[in-house]
Amino acid sequence: MLITFRTPRAPTLTLFGEHAIALLQLMGQSGELPGALTANDVPAALARLQAALEDAAAQRPARSPGAPPDEPLVSLATRGRSLLELFERASRARSDIVWSAGG
């Protein structure tokens, strides 16, 4: 499954579902689809995401469940950089963010 994030002030971002849901949960979201944050809620979610990604950067990357053994290890901090940028742009522009399943 793919999850797509949209805000008027940044390019559309699509992430693999398992990573997107993990990142949403780090921000205090349920991970239910579809979902949204109003412009007023974006700064707090951004702060939680930044803090969580800083913590994740200090941890050793883990292989995704069911991943082939030759798949490169990619940390959640690395996977979350694009989403962090989308949230930063939305926060600066005071824009809403929506996400849903699909590409």
Q: Is the dihedral of CA 82, 14, 86, 22 positive or negative?
A: negative
Residue 58 has pLDDT above 80, yes or no: no
Q: State mean pLDDT over 5-33.
A: 93
Summarised one tens digit per residue, pLDDT across range 60-83 is 666 666 777 777 777 788 889 999
Q: Note the pTM of the prediction, 2 decimals.
A: 0.85
Nearest Cα to 64, choosing from 15, 30, 100, 31? 15
Give the integer Cα–Cα distance in Å for 96 and 87.
Answer: 9
User: Which residue has tokens 């883990």?
Assistant: 62
Helix axes 42-57, 17-26, angle to 10 degrees: 110
| Tokens encoding 83 | 């989403």
